[in-house]
């Protein structure tokens, strides 16, 4: 019988579909399937506090955190790193207020060796009229000084754009937050 690969019946107001792969080669056919499926969320049973679901796949597992954010707006974060003086490690996390506490989401962790834009945009759901906090941890190999920590705050709103420039000893970081 020929036909669709998968059929989905919508019985809940929210459906989250996953198709996550582990990049293995240049071609998409070379990638390993991590998870492929969907979960549904019922508004009456989805908590205001974040909950984490552990999803097992063919080549590993993924933890997915869900929370109900009643007046959410979407915030898209673009990060461009320029004027790199020396290789450094960078960790970027977002902290949003959900369910009575600040929840952290690691967006990027890696080594920066040259000017670049981080490989993708980051999309975060934020309660409208709340503050979104970004935290940068910057470290340099062989440095006797501990990691440098830098914080930025953005007010979440509908149809806005905020830009920030962070000048560091290691590099210049440009942030663009569209909401």
Mean per-residue pLDDT over the chain, rounded:
79
Residue 137 and residue 166 in contact, taking contact as beta carbons nearer than 8 Å: no
Q: Which CATH code fits 72-178?
A: 2.60.40.150
Res. 176: pLDDT tops 80: yes
Residue 65 clears pLDDT 80, i.e. is over it: no
pLDDT band at 144 (very low <50, low <70, confident <90, very high): low
CATH 2.60.40.150 boundaries in the chain? 72-178
Residue 142 has pLDDT above 60, yes or no: no
Query: Residues 78-90: what's their mean pLDDT?
Result: 89
Q: How far from chain centre, in Å, is Cα 142?
A: 29
- pLDDT the model gives residue 160: 78
Whose tokens are 């993924």? That residue is 62
Q: Which among 51, 55, 63, 50 has a CA at the least distance from the CA of 38? A: 55
Taking 60 as the threshold, does the pLDDT of residue 151 lie above it? yes
Better-scored residue on pLDDT, 14 or 115: 115
Per-residue model confidence (pLDDT) at position 156: 75
Closest CA to 172 of 132, 112, 111, 123: 112
Q: What would the mean pLDDT of 111-118 be, rounded to a whole number? A: 87
DSSP secondary structure string for all residues of 15-42: EEEEEEEE--SSSGGGSEEEEEEEEEE-
Characterise 3 by phi-psi region: left (phi > 0), alpha (psi -120 to 50), beta (else). left
**What is the spatial distance between Cα 37 and Cα 137, in angstroms, rounded to a whole number?**
34
């Amino acid at each position: 019988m020929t036909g669709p690969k998968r059929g989905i019946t919508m019985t809940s107001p929210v459906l989250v579909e996953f198709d996550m792969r582990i990049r293995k080669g240049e071609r998409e056919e070379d990638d390993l399937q991590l998870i492929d499926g969907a979960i549904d969320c019922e508004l009456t049973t989805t908590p205001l506090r974040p909950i984490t679901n552990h999803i097992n796949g063919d080549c590993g597992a993924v933890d997915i955190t869900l929370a109900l954010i009643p007046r959410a707006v979407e915030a898209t974060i673009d990060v461009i790193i320029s004027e790199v003086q020396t290789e450094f490690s960078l960790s970027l996390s977002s902290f949003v207020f959900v369910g009575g506490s600040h929840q952290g989401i690691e967006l990027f962790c890696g080594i920066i060796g040259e000017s670049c834009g981080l490989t993708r945009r980051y999309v975060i759901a934020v309660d409208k009229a709340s503050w979104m906090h970004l935290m940068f941890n910057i470290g340099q190999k062989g440095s006797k000084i501990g990691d440098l920590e830098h914080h930025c705050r953005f007010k979440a709103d509908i149809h806005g754009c905020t830009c920030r420039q962070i000048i560091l000893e290691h590099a210049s970081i440009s942030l663009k937050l569209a909401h």
